[in-house]
Structure 1
Amino acid sequence: MANLIVTDLTCEYRTNPLGIGVRRPRFSWKLEGGRRGILQQAYRLAVAAEDGDFDRPIWDSGRVESGESVLVEYGGPELASRTKYVWRVKVWDDAGREAASEPAVFETTLLELSEWRASWITPAASAIDPQTDAAFLLRKSFRVKGGVKAARIYATAAGVYELYVNGQRVSDEELSPGWTSYQYRLQYQTYDVTELLKSGDNAVGIHLGDGWYRSGMGFEQLNYKYGDRRAALLQLHIRYEDGTEEMVATDASWRAATGPVTYSTIYNGETYDARLERKGWSEAGYADDDWAPAETIDLPMDILVPQENWPVRVTETIRPIAFFVTPAGDKVLDMGQNMVGRIRFTVEAPAGTTIVLRHAEVLDKDGNIYFGNLRFAKQTVTYIAKGEGKETYAPRFTFLGFRYVKVEGWPGDELPLDAFVGEVMHSDMPRTGDFSCSDERVNQLQRNIQWGQRGNFVDVPTDCPQRDERLGWTGDAQVFIATALYNFNGGPFFTKWLRDLKAEQRADGGVPFVIPDVADGHSSSGWGDAAVICPWTVYRYYGDRRLLAEQYDSMKAWVEYIRAQGDNEYMWETGFHFGDWVALDAKEGSYVGATPLPLVATAYYAYSSRLLSEAARVLGRDDEAAKYGELHARVVQAFRDEFITKTGRMASPTQTAHVLALAFDLAGDAAPRIARDLNDLIIENGYHLTTGFLGTPYLCMVLSDHGYHDTAMRLLLQDGYPGWLYSISKGATTIWEHWDGIKPDGTFWSDDMNSFNHYAYGAVGEWMYRKVAGLDMDGAVPGFKRLHIEPLFGAGLLSRAKTSHLSMYGKIETAWSIDGNRVQVQVSIPANTTARVVLRGAAVEGLSIDGQPVGAGGSYPAGVQSIAATDRGVEAEIGSGEYRFAYEAVNLFRKRYTTSSRLLELLTDERAERAVRRHMPHLFGSPSLNFLRTSTLRELAENGMSRVTREMVERVLEELAEEK
């Protein structure tokens, strides 16, 4: 038997984190072990001082009989500030094996506010205009003794900054300190600069731009939302081998100047004049006598928090795939991918040569680069050459959303592709998930979803990365968070953002539309509900009870805010709501879908009150769990009384009304009828959706959950407008904001609100993972500790699919393929977890595992705990390991025979077609007709059609009979 191994040690989601501010950090680890069915029986955690002497540990948990291996809390004495600790874990498994991990480390930051000795500094106003557009340079020379043991910088800015020591960039992090609700919370960063210091003269430099702090953010384009003066704060601690310490801190002794960045904002871009570079400005010995003095300013210190989020970094580089000249005569680069980040280029040009890059997402129907959807955002980078040979430049203090780049002023007639490289920037979240299948269009959709997430997770979950918005819309975040956490590890990302949400929440419990709040408005249903849905989802994916407890009061405040609205505490019928935003059933000229706003608001009220009750139960608040459970029941009853008829139909005929009633379990006994009606609405619309931001994320999920997976699959594979694959057919490489951002004739939906990188509709990714590929977790156990594997296959429309997710326990994988009736399912279950595998259409007698027939004898392969026949097929309880299931499917795909084939025959007869046009005009001029004409009789028979369509077909037949 292979040895047990403990691997992948993390502290607060990170590997060997530097500068954590958590006083009781949490530890996680994974197990590997060369056999199936591994379960941890016990662990022993130990934390030692920096010297790693575990014979004299700071804390030793002793042997703890527990299967916990995720976010296990430190239980020792209070940790010291600015201290490195070494930790390890020993585990025992259920076979009696034991294993000890290699040591890992974590280091604390400044745990007390009183430890800050630095002052906020900025150039003296008497020497440099505080309102200048130019970025500031701040520097300080200092001396270092020999024998440096360790050196750390703790730094932040009112603005965004780059940090240098002795002429070298300290970190590859970009746009630090990130965007928080600055009036309440400002992150600071910790850097290890030990290797950058030298004995003797040294220097530290800070390059300081506007960033989110002073740029005009939000719809009003107002500068100085947080303050009108950029400033920096830095503290360098040097510890010597002899035990002494020295500190260098920002104060009035620093020197200040402006440099080559003459302008930078988030929306508009950056201007860089290389002729203004100050060579060696952050190095020791640089002559700064002509620089201005710095001055201290009074900015708050009590808002400082250690870095919480994954930092923004350049995570990938891509080369342009083409250079071309547009019909309008513009020289344009095509990056081949709608990306977020910047262009780095190398050029050789005379001094004063001005090169301008304008960034855009798409081309118009004539092939010209299209800037209309940027609104007021300029997305322009300007570079002025210094004329000293080859010069390389990329903007520092902005980010841009683009696929195409218009280049002006480049020397020569052509743009050399090797002179340009795209640097992709986003919060550097570890990638944890992927999905692929037999349809390459769907694979492109998956890539688009992940590219959309990367481009919009730039420190906050933005709505778009290109126009004059880029805001943390709460509604977008809550509908997408489940997909986001399949794709990437978003624990730190959402922890930071939810703390901002809590900080910005109003005294009455209302939640701003965007977080950080730079817009005017708050508390729309489906948007404010992010206060409840997002912390609950993080708990579900990672088992993070601490964040749930931390956000609980915010969750409760939101539900109580809803409860206080209007005269009926169990309905929400008042206030402003975005509703089913940009739904296709909206009235002409409106962005709000046709689903009644009180229906949407009350549905979300019910959902949030239910999740609040469940959160209270998890946290041991039994009284409040019962209280909000009762509230939920009353809201559900009010919803049914108001919005579901006595015959069990939705009072509102919209797709979204049906979806929300089913998704939030509001329908009760009427659920089968409502699901059938929803299915009819979809088929009646030619397998097209009409849903918007709130209906779309749940649409395929409720169809699959209620027995209409075939319809959900046809929705997914619909490449006509509207549908997920329509944008793919138009060459999309990210998710669009509107189903018809580019119309079939090549024109645009609108200039007003038409992002081509807008992740909300990418929420279908969760359904692809959970239902198509079948990778899901047990509803009663968080964090993928207990798995539910049940692929629903492709309704005969896909022949294979596979997916993976790197959970906190390890990598989970599922894959299936179908050849005729032969089904193969492969799963990989990480150690210290178990799974229920449901094999649709299987029979015990025909099932084989790893090539060996199971039979009816009850003898199972290693790792298989039980096998049972059910009405869905076969259920197998398994432990960790890799398994291959194979069987001949029985009744795998539901068949419904209707008059569809008769309708197809009618459409081949000119006289009959006239009758169909009279009774079914919606078919003509829509993809429905093409679907009917191009589908085989078998496909039509299998997919059937709605009751309404059948009735109309019968009327057509009756009319034809009468004419005869």
Structure 2
Amino acid sequence: MTTTLSINTLTCEYKINPIGLDIKKPRISWKMQSNRRGTIQTAYRIQVTENDQDFTNMLWDTGEIHSDESIHIEYKGPELTSQTRYYYRVKVWDNFGDESEWSEIVWWETGIFNDEEWKAKWITPHPDEIDPLSEPAFLLRKEFKLKAPIRSARIYGTGVGLYELFINGDRVGTDLFSPGWTSYHKRLQYQTYDITGQLGEGNNAMGIMLADGWYKGNLSWENKRHIYGDRRAAYFQIHVKYEDGTEEIIPTDATWTASTGPILFSEIYQGEIYDARLEKEGWNKPGFNDKDWHETTVQDMPITHLVAQENWTTQVTEIIKPINTFVTPLGDTVLDMGQNMVGRVRFQVEAPKGTTIILKHAEVLDNEGNIYFGNLRKAHQEVKYIAKGEGIETFAPHFTFQGFRYVKVEGYPEQEKGLISENFVGEVIHSAMEPTGHFECSDPLINRLQQNIVWGQRGNFLDVPTDCPQRDERLGWTGDAQVFIQTALFNYHGGPFFTKWLRDLKAEQYPDGGVPFVIPTVVEGANAAAWSDAATIIPWEIYKIYGDKRLLSEQYESMKAWVEYMRRQGPDEYLWVVTFNFGDWLALDAPSGSYSGSTPKDFIATAFYAYSTRLLRDAAEVLQKEEDVEEYNSLLEKIIEQFNYEFVSPSGRLVSPTQTAHVLALIFDLVEGKVKERTAVELNELILQNDYHLTTGFVGTPYLCLALSKCGYHETAVKLLMQEGYPSWLYSVKKGATTIWEHWDGIKEDGSFWSDEMNSFNHYAYGAIGDWMYRVVAGLDLDNTAPAYKRIQIEPKFAGISLTYAKAIYDSMYGRIISSWCLTNEDIEIEVEIPANTTATVILPSTCLKNVRESGTSLNTTVGIHHSYEKEGNVILNVGSGCYSFKYPNEGRFSITFTEESRLVDILEYKEAKHILDQYAPGITNPPGIFAMKMKTLKELANFPEANLSTNTVNTLIEELNKIEWNLTPAH
């Protein structure tokens, strides 16, 4: 065999060729490729230089380091300098004695390390000439002359609120909503742009547009303004390096001039008004006559700390064309984008001067087919464009975004003839995270659900993890973020995204350890169970998925402060009895008039107190804080002991008979032994008694199916997932949803809506089911003893006729992982891919060693399998990297229908269904595969008047089927 060992996907601080880093000891990661199974790195070598081609004068050369580490290798060379590009390359050796070639040469570039390097001043239009509280966006400009040919040029800087930059008339970069939303008084991101290709010797010009944004614009339902400040301002400097080695800095200062322009109004919630007649042609180019422009002034700003860009920048990531244009019963002309999206509409128009075009954005139509704006509350989501009247004009708003599927169009000149939808496109906008995960299965509704989960994340991960993107809220709710974190990190690379957000959480945390409801903090309120626990849950999940020990260490004191806050509350340090809590938010078992479910709030609070304490203890172990490990392990034991005393009866029954109470007790390991067994049985019964429907809210839902599967009730969990009737995940899918809803019945069966007060149709929290889908159904998981999927666990849990196929793909820090399975009546096939430099435990359900073949050969001759054995009716394999194809006989262990669809009504013509029912009912004793169906389906069929089935016949058939063990349970 010709061995190919190579390195690819080199990253520095998670990013490929990052520019403007202010990290003085950046970390390097890479992925290995090998065509040999069982490849493990045994050594690596990193070289770093300031020369892009010549590695003869190295800044840092590790030499051959004997280690299997390939992620987060910290730079340990000489101290780095600001505004410098460093090139690096890597080579590795493996356990077969092979040595790779050097990787491609990649780089990182530093930003500004020291405050004294900033020459810029905060500038804003002089208040005597332009009212600083005026609504129009500001235009700032500066013309300058470069004395010689340039070697390189960068812009460093930031602004408050939002900015766009221009050099010589051209936009700088493609970022939107810069500098992003941080805890501005404590942390403000600055950006770095390479503008070498946009500048030239001689005259040049720079332009800046400034709008309110999050800094001083209207935020939250409380109509708060000027939360951080009441002055927009810019802070930039161009750094030019000439070919002759000299340098020059052009900063913002009082020599700049200012004006207003065509953006008359721009707010995140309300939209934008743009009057193209007021455009100042060439304002951002050299030679523009700005004699009528106004002075700028240097402004003192309440900014304490500038940090280089941490998050993925916000970008247009996809273009969507409308699928339809129609006129509603009320006479409105409406575009249908076909997808509930977040972003903006770009259109082109040729119209007389002064023509006003208005776009009004909404998520859904009402039951009469009219566009529905009620759930937007005080957010207008309206864009107004006034035409210049000079040929074809193209426009998209600059400093606002909308959450929408439908767009009401007013004033477009072609409307009278029928709107030309080809002139409109939707631009999808979010933080430009790298996609990392994919899930699919044999059921098209579940696949649509997965798409809805992904679209919900795209819509709400716009610089911060917002709860919803359309109404007057759009805030970084901690509870939503923590319940969705595992699913989020499967779908997209969330390292930079959550690094930035967690630093804001730490910055906003109160001196007593309390954690606000939303981050950044713009509304009152703090210290709610399952919300504020984001302080412990999210750092730990980032560590698990990416092995980011540095971030865990950075957040450790924040984690500890939150646990200590809970410890100090109330008369008993081992119970958290709070005066306020959200409880199981939006649970269906809530008392009338309440948003919180029936699960006692102190039950929920103490459960999360225990969970956060457990995570803190585990973090202390990772960080080798031995005293803390001992202390918080003891605290955890006492919390669990007190939880059982307070919330479990002497006979072992939970005091709260809710689904959520049982879920939390099980998933957080708060009960054990016979109490745990009883709790699991009772949880299963609660689901069965509710005809396979859930009653959980934001707290219980994320863990519901995980708890069931973990405790041996996977079949029940699958039936919950497959449930189509309200309430269920598929109810909204059947109603045409393309994102996740805030309420299980956002749109009711009759087409009416839940209350306008709180009815988002893009609210990702319930999308947390995705975590269970890929980890349990597809079986792609990590071994908790080794972070970042260094050790992988593949353990698919089959769902028989409900699902006959499932596949998960995840691009980890080490490389691509695949877990895929397919069931037929004859065989079970499992496909696995494990990346180089990792190992995996593969669990093949319900078989024995002698029956399993890998790529057609027996396991004892298979290369890459290090160890194999049988345990509890399963085959356990310890394998190395590579692609594996396992196959073994089904042997009747799982009953599979002749079709992949699980719902009888969907797959059979009525006559065929009636014929089979008539043939076997009521005396059925040995049904064929077609009767391996859900009881719910039979009940649905019985409601078809054409079936003409008596109630007795249907009930007898259901009785007989209930006696038969065909339900996806392994044969014993």
TM-score normalized by the length of structure 1: 0.93
Q: C-alpha distance in 2, partners of 1:88/1:741?
A: 53
After TM superposition, give the deviation of residue 501 of structure 1 in Å: 0.1
Query: Which of the numbers 758, 762, 765 marks the counterpart of 1:757?
Result: 762
Corresponding residue number in structure 2 for 1:787: 792
Tell me if structure 1 keeps the 8 A contact 2:20–2:83.
yes
Q: C-alpha distance in 1, partners of 2:548/2:958?
A: 50
Alpha carbon RMSD of aligned pairs, Å?
A: 2.1
User: SS of the counterpart of 2:811?
Assistant: strand
Corresponding residue number in structure 2 for 1:329: 331
Deviation per residue, 1:264-303 (Å, 9 max, x gap): 0111010000000011110011111110011110014532
Corresponding residue number in structure 2 for 1:554: 558
AA at the equivalent of 2:483:
V
Deviation per residue, 1:84-125 (Å, 9 max, x gap): 000111111001111121111000000111111100001111
Deviation per residue, 1:728-748 (Å, 9 max, x gap): 010000000000000000000
**Gapped regions of structure 1 (runs ≥ 5):** 896-903, 910-922, 946-964
Deviation per residue, 1:899-946 (Å, 9 max, x gap): xxxxx99xx99xxxxxxxxxxxxx99x98997996996786456899x
User: SS of the counterpart of 2:802?
Assistant: coil
Query: Which of the numbers 311, 314, 323 marks the counterpart of 1:312?
Result: 314
Deviation per residue, 1:18-42 (Å, 9 max, x gap): 0011110000000011111110001
Corresponding residue number in structure 2 for 1:912: none
Query: Which of the numbers 687, 695, 702 marks the counterpart of 1:690?
Result: 695
User: SS of the counterpart of 1:638?
Assistant: helix
- Between the two proteins, the alignment pairs up a number of residues equal to 919
Corresponding residue number in structure 1 for 2:904: none
Corresponding residue number in structure 2 for 1:719: 724
Tell me if structure 1 keeps the 8 A contact 2:746–2:759.
yes
Deviation per residue, 1:442-472 (Å, 9 max, x gap): 0000000000000000000000000000000
Deviation per residue, 1:160-182 (Å, 9 max, x gap): 01100000001100000000011
Query: Which of the numbers 506, 510, 516 marks the counterpart of 1:506?
Result: 510
Corresponding residue number in structure 1 for 2:258: 256
After TM superposition, give the deviation of residue 639 of structure 1 in Å: 0.8
Equivalence map 1:329-348=2 (5 Å): 329-348=331-350
After TM superposition, give the deviation of residue 64 of structure 1 in Å: 1.3
After TM superposition, give the deviation of residue 891 of structure 1 in Å: 7.1
Deviation per residue, 1:52-81 (Å, 9 max, x gap): 432221111222111110111111121000
**Gapped regions of structure 2 (runs ≥ 5):** 897-916, 923-935, 945-950, 968-972
AA at the equivalent of 1:497:
W
Corresponding residue number in structure 2 for 1:453: 457
Query: Which of the numbers 420, 444, 448 marks the counterpart of 1:444?
Result: 448
After TM superposition, give the deviation of residue 349 of structure 1 in Å: 0.6
Deviation per residue, 1:210-237 (Å, 9 max, x gap): 1111111123111100001100110100
User: SS of the counterpart of 1:455?
Assistant: helix
AA at the equivalent of 1:373:
N
After TM superposition, give the deviation of residue 361 of structure 1 in Å: 0.2
Corresponding residue number in structure 2 for 1:80: 81
Distance change in 2, residues 1:619/1:741 (3 Å): same
Deviation per residue, 1:871-906 (Å, 9 max, x gap): 1410111111100000113674599xxxxxxxx99x
Kindly indicate whether residue 203 of structure 2 is the aligned counterpart of residue 201 of structure 1: yes
Tell me if structure 1 keeps the 8 A contact 2:895–2:966.
no
Equivalence map 1:2-21=2 (5 Å): 2-21=3-22
AA at the equivalent of 2:853:
S
Distance change in 2, residues 1:156/1:943 (3 Å): farther
Q: C-alpha distance in 2, partners of 1:845/1:677?
A: 38
AA at the equivalent of 1:457:
F
User: SS of the counterpart of 1:783?
Assistant: helix
Query: Which of the numbers 820, 838, 845 marks the counterpart of 1:815?
Result: 820
Query: Which of the numbers 459, 466, 469 marks the counterpart of 2:470?
Result: 466
Q: C-alpha distance in 2, partners of 1:175/1:347?
A: 25
After TM superposition, give the deviation of residue 849 of structure 1 in Å: 0.3
Q: C-alpha distance in 1, partners of 2:52/2:556?
A: 39
Q: C-alpha distance in 2, partners of 1:142/1:42?
A: 52
Tell me if structure 2 keeps the 8 A contact 1:45–1:87.
yes
Kindly indicate whether residue 133 of structure 2 is the aligned counterpart of residue 128 of structure 1: no
Corresponding residue number in structure 2 for 1:949: none
After TM superposition, give the deviation of residue 650 of structure 1 in Å: 1.3
Q: C-alpha distance in 2, partners of 1:460/1:80?
A: 31
TM-score normalized by the length of structure 2: 0.93
Q: C-alpha distance in 2, partners of 1:62/1:155?
A: 38
Q: C-alpha distance in 2, partners of 1:929/1:682?
A: 22
AA at the equivalent of 1:65:
H
After TM superposition, give the deviation of residue 318 of structure 1 in Å: 0.4
Equivalence map 1:400-549=2 (5 Å): 400-412=402-414, 413=416, 414-549=418-553
Q: C-alpha distance in 2, partners of 1:339/1:155?
A: 31
User: SS of the counterpart of 2:455?
Assistant: helix
Q: C-alpha distance in 2, partners of 1:942/1:600?
A: 39
Tell me if structure 2 keeps the 8 A contact 1:842–1:890.
no
Distance change in 2, residues 1:942/1:486 (3 Å): farther
Q: C-alpha distance in 2, partners of 1:763/1:673?
A: 26
After TM superposition, give the deviation of residue 795 of structure 1 in Å: 4.0
Corresponding residue number in structure 1 for 2:771: 766
Q: C-alpha distance in 2, partners of 1:927/1:599?
A: 38
Q: C-alpha distance in 2, partners of 1:819/1:224?
A: 62
Query: Which of the numbers 376, 379, 384 marks the counterpart of 1:377?
Result: 379
Determine what percentage of the aligned residue pairs are the same residue: 56
AA at the equivalent of 2:314:
V
Deviation per residue, 1:179-207 (Å, 9 max, x gap): 00111111000000000001100000001
Q: C-alpha distance in 2, partners of 1:941/1:19?
A: 67
Kindly indicate whether residue 34 of structure 2 is the aligned counterpart of residue 29 of structure 1: no
Corresponding residue number in structure 1 for 2:222: 220
Equivalence map 1:916-955=2 (5 Å): 940-941=962-963
After TM superposition, give the deviation of residue 2 of structure 1 in Å: 2.4
Corresponding residue number in structure 2 for 1:394: 396
Corresponding residue number in structure 2 for 1:776: 781
Distance change in 2, residues 1:124/1:310 (3 Å): same
Tell me if structure 2 keeps the 8 A contact 1:24–1:74.
yes
After TM superposition, give the deviation of residue 495 of structure 1 in Å: 0.2
After TM superposition, give the deviation of residue 50 of structure 1 in Å: 3.3
AA at the equivalent of 2:219:
M
Deviation per residue, 1:390-434 (Å, 9 max, x gap): 100000001100000000111132111100000000000000001
After TM superposition, give the deviation of residue 796 of structure 1 in Å: 3.2
AA at the equivalent of 2:124:
T
Corresponding residue number in structure 2 for 1:70: 71
Distance change in 2, residues 1:185/1:825 (3 Å): same
Corresponding residue number in structure 1 for 2:913: none
Query: Which of the numbers 164, 167, 173 marks the counterpart of 1:165?
Result: 167
Kindly indicate whether residue 626 of structure 2 is the aligned counterpart of residue 622 of structure 1: yes
Q: C-alpha distance in 2, partners of 1:840/1:125?
A: 73
Distance change in 2, residues 1:485/1:116 (3 Å): same
Q: C-alpha distance in 2, partners of 1:572/1:513?
A: 17
Equivalence map 1:33-112=2 (5 Å): 33-99=34-100, 100-112=102-114
Distance change in 2, residues 1:516/1:796 (3 Å): same
AA at the equivalent of 1:217:
L
Tell me if structure 1 keeps the 8 A contact 2:479–2:531.
yes
Q: C-alpha distance in 2, partners of 1:250/1:937?
A: 80
Corresponding residue number in structure 2 for 1:948: none
AA at the equivalent of 2:652:
G
Corresponding residue number in structure 2 for 1:953: none
User: SS of the counterpart of 1:534?
Assistant: helix
Corresponding residue number in structure 1 for 2:884: 883
Tell me if structure 2 keeps the 8 A contact 1:687–1:928.
no
Tell me if structure 2 keeps the 8 A contact 1:320–1:336.
yes
Tell me if structure 2 keeps the 8 A contact 1:47–1:60.
yes
Tell me if structure 1 keeps the 8 A contact 2:486–2:541.
yes
Q: C-alpha distance in 1, partners of 2:822/2:25?
A: 46
Corresponding residue number in structure 2 for 1:583: 587
Q: C-alpha distance in 2, partners of 1:68/1:183?
A: 38
Q: C-alpha distance in 1, partners of 2:25/2:734?
A: 51
Q: C-alpha distance in 2, partners of 1:777/1:574?
A: 35
Equivalence map 1:134-145=2 (5 Å): 134-145=136-147
